[in-house]
A and B are shown apart, each in its own frame.
Chain A
Amino acid sequence: MADVKIGNLHKSYGTVEVLKDINLQVEDGAFVVLVGPSGCGKSTLLRSIAGLEPITSGAISIGGRNVSDLAPAQREIAMVFQSYALYPHMNVENNMAFGLKFAGVPKAEIADRVNEAARILQLEPLLKRRPRELSGGQRQRVAIGRAIVRHPKVFLFDEPLSNLDAALRINTRVEIARLHKLLKATIVYVTHDQVEAMTLADKIVVMNKGRVEQVGKPLELYYRPANLFVARFIGSPAMNTLAATLDGKGKAAAVAGVSLPLPAAVSGTGEITIGFRPEHCSIGKTGIPARVELVERLGETGYVHARTADGAALLVEVKGDPGLAQGAEVRVAPAAGHLHLFDGEGVRLAGT
């Protein structure tokens, strides 16, 4: 196993810059998840690490060795593709053994490695089948098996679960977590599923428009998003954000005509954005005035959709049935300690 270091990586297609100055460290044995909206460059970054895309500038090193100019095979990585990319004309066994044959691994060892992977992934009864005779989940396991047998230093996954149905996705997610523990592997994993990211990751990398917005532990991103983008992206349903004005004394912020007390001393004046999560606010006697537009009742919890006089949407999670009707006037109060403050550029205010 090995660590991965990415320094000042740039990648352009013609004049379009898709990756802008990426700096990233993946520690030995870490499970790092790349998330971000569609088209932000997650796959491109992963493929750059794999060596499938030439990079424009910067450096990638794996296990302390600069691999920027090496071919994929020499980087000692293994990639699991979203489409699985199993060779259709080979059975499961040969799919896994194929790369090893070309690497000149002795026959006996190939058999050992394939059998071990088959055992770990419960593929033994399927070894003689062709990919088209397998279910989606089984193909997925073969794809992972093909990665395992290579004994790579780093595993790269590009949205491996997105072609599976919901139930299988949960199983496979647990399976991948188990494999990570078992193999003590370094893993870089791309997804746009939040739950996958939060549950699997040691470290999440949030990307946006080719930049890294924030790197951190899952709960760090949840509780202390570094900027508005991360605040809105992490957490489901998304965080409420409202324009506000600082009073200059650092005591309170004016929002939609009311004054909200601030948690810690914040210096400065001016326009800011405040944010709080639907699960971190409540409907009560004080707080931001809003009009109820819709109440969703999901059983144990429910969601109240409301709108302020300025037209900003607010979402509040409630326990049980709030007993509110459409058009009701309510006040929404953020829970103490769960208020996020961002400056004009959307960067989290210092000291909060």
Chain B
Amino acid sequence: MRKPVSAFAVHAVLALYTALALFPIILVIMNSFKAKRAIFNTPLTPPMPWNFDPIGYSKVFGDSAIATYYMNSITVTVGTIFLTLLFGAMAAWALTEYKFRWNTALAIFLSIGIMVPIRLGSVSIIQLVSDLNLINTLTALILVYVAQNLPLAVFILSEFIQQIPRDLREAGRCDGLSEYNIFFYIILPLLRPAMATVAVFTMIPVWNDLWFPLLLAPTGGKQTITLGVQQFLGQYITDWNAVLAALSTAIIPVLVLYVIFSRQLIRGLTSGAVK
């Protein structure tokens, strides 16, 4: 039996950590509803009738470009998640299930991808993207993000695939399924928890990234929301209401995605792949 004291201690630490993590977010959301003066004078007071001012939100929603930036971010994130999971799972399956000539070399190559930050290659990526005429397109961002996330996805998914009993795949073969059908109808459903894990690890850095949007899609209405918010940050004047409102609303889509994945995620973290 665990002593209640230690359980209490664990929860105290967790609560402290949660508070620490949530504090800035709550601060941003609180202040996004306040008048500019109140933001600076009393940053820690919650929005009250006397300091309430939705001007930031009306600016953000009034600005049609911002809506486009949202859609851009969502498209890039969802596209990246989808392609990373699909190709990651397929590659992981191929690398674990089939023996072919370059199997080991390929696996090592991918694990190097985990260790080397993709930003080191920024210059050649810009060159490549510009040669492909993909500057200022969402395609460029999605391609780069998929490349960035694929190695870790393959690595994590391989671990899970290895835990799927061999008999299950062979039962599929005896049942007359093609290799693709085995993958799509037996392996993928069993990988759901693992894929949720990968999805969460993938989506947050992609959603928050400023680097590649700045390099590859800085203009032409293809900015992501993190980049789009910058328009409210001026060298001399910053529209804090708008910045805070934009940041607050930017939390919502990731939150929704997280809720979608979280049930599976927790199963993935606690259970291993398949019993």
Q: A87-B186, A132-B275 are in contact. Are A79 and B171 (CB under 8 A)?
A: yes
A50 on interface, CB distance cutoff 8 Å:
yes
Specify which of A84, A85, A103 lies most central, judged by the most chain B CB atoms within 10 Å of its CB. Answer: A85
Stretch at the interface among B174-182, B211-219, B237-245: B174-182
A222 on interface, CB distance cutoff 8 Å:
no
- Give B residues with C-beta under 8 Å from A: 165, 167-168, 170-171, 173-177, 181, 185-186, 189-190, 274-275
A78 touches B174 (CB 8 A): yes
Consensus secondary structure, chain B interface: helix
Q: A81-B171, A83-B165 are in contact. Are A88 and B177 (CB under 8 A)?
A: no
Q: Which 3 A-B pairs have the closest CB atoms?
A: A99-B175, A73-B176, A85-B167
Measured between beta carbons, the chain A residues less than 8 angstroms from B171 are 79, 81, 85-87, 146
CB distance from A135 to the nearest CB of B (A): 15
A81 touches B175 (CB 8 A): no
Measured between beta carbons, the chain B residues less than 8 angstroms from A150 are 175
B176 touches A99 (CB 8 A): yes
CB distance from A297 to the nearest CB of B (A): 43
Measured between beta carbons, the chain A residues less than 8 angstroms from B168 are 85, 87-88
Measured between beta carbons, the chain A residues less than 8 angstroms from B186 are 87
Residues of chain A in range 45-88 having any CB-CB distance to chain B below 8 Å: 47, 50-52, 71-74, 77-79, 81-88
Give the distance in Å from the alpha carbon of A88 to the alpha carbon of B167 in the complex: 12
B177 touches A102 (CB 8 A): yes
Q: A52-B170, A81-B171 are in contact. Are A89 and B190 (CB under 8 A)?
A: yes
B174 touches A77 (CB 8 A): yes
Measured between beta carbons, the chain A residues less than 8 angstroms from B190 are 88-89
Give the distance in Å from the alpha carbon of A150 to the alpha carbon of B173 in the complex: 13
A73 touches B189 (CB 8 A): no
Measured between beta carbons, the chain B residues less than 8 angstroms from A52 are 170, 173-174
Q: Which of B165, B175, B274 contacts A102 (CB 8 A)?
A: B175
Q: A89-B189, A89-B190 are in contact. Are A73 and B173 (CB under 8 A)?
A: yes
CB distance from A31 to the nearest CB of B (A): 20
Give the distance in Å from the alpha carbon of A51 to the alpha carbon of B176 in the complex: 12
A72 touches B165 (CB 8 A): no
Measured between beta carbons, the chain A residues less than 8 angstroms from B189 are 89
Measured between beta carbons, the chain B residues less than 8 angstroms from A103 are 176
Give the distance in Å from the alpha carbon of A199 to the alpha carbon of B10 in the complex: 59
Interface string of A286-322 (1 = CB under 8 A from B): 0000000000000000000000000000000000000
A102 touches B170 (CB 8 A): no
Measured between beta carbons, the chain B residues less than 8 angstroms from A98 are 175, 185
B174 touches A73 (CB 8 A): yes
Give the distance in Å from the alpha carbon of A83 to the alpha carbon of B165 in the complex: 9
Interface string of A17-51 (1 = CB under 8 A from B): 00000000000000000000000000000010011
Give the distance in Å from the alpha carbon of A333 to the alpha carbon of B170 in the complex: 52
B173 touches A72 (CB 8 A): yes
Give the distance in Å from the alpha carbon of A87 to the alpha carbon of B173 in the complex: 13
Measured between beta carbons, the chain B residues less than 8 angstroms from A79 are 170-171, 174
Residues of chain A in range 102-136 having any CB-CB distance to chain B below 8 Å: 102-103, 132
CB distance from B101 to the nearest CB of A (A): 15
Q: List 13 A-B contacts (CB under 8 A).
A: A73-B174, A79-B171, A79-B174, A81-B167, A84-B167, A85-B168, A85-B171, A88-B190, A99-B174, A99-B175, A99-B176, A102-B176, A102-B181
Specify which of A47, A83, A98 lies most central, judged by the most chain B CB atoms within 10 Å of its CB. Answer: A98
Give the distance in Å from the alpha carbon of A111 to the alpha carbon of B175 in the complex: 17
CB distance from B176 to the nearest CB of A (A): 3
Give the distance in Å from the alpha carbon of A132 to the alpha carbon of B176 in the complex: 24
Give the distance in Å from the alpha carbon of A85 to the alpha carbon of B274 in the complex: 12
Give the distance in Å from the alpha carbon of A31 to the alpha carbon of B274 in the complex: 34
A88 touches B170 (CB 8 A): no
A88 touches B181 (CB 8 A): no
Give the distance in Å from the alpha carbon of A77 to the alpha carbon of B170 in the complex: 13
CB distance from B175 to the nearest CB of A (A): 3
Give the distance in Å from the alpha carbon of A52 to the alpha carbon of B182 in the complex: 14
Specify which of A77, A78, A79, A132 lies most central, judged by the most chain B CB atoms within 10 Å of its CB. Answer: A79
Measured between beta carbons, the chain B residues less than 8 angstroms from A74 are 176
Excluding A50-B170, A102-B181, 10 further A-B contacts by CB distance (< 8 Å) are A47-B170, A50-B174, A71-B173, A73-B177, A77-B174, A81-B171, A87-B171, A88-B275, A99-B175, A146-B171
CB distance from B134 to the nearest CB of A (A): 39
Give the distance in Å from the alpha carbon of A197 to the alpha carbon of B181 in the complex: 37
Interface string of A169-188 (1 = CB under 8 A from B): 00000000000000000000
CB distance from B88 to the nearest CB of A (A): 20
Q: Which of A51, A77, A88 contacts B274 (CB 8 A)?
A: A88
Residues of chain A in range 184-217 having any CB-CB distance to chain B below 8 Å: none
CB distance from A61 to the nearest CB of B (A): 18
Nearest B-chain residue to A90, judged by Cβ = B189
CB distance from A102 to the nearest CB of B (A): 5
A85 touches B170 (CB 8 A): yes
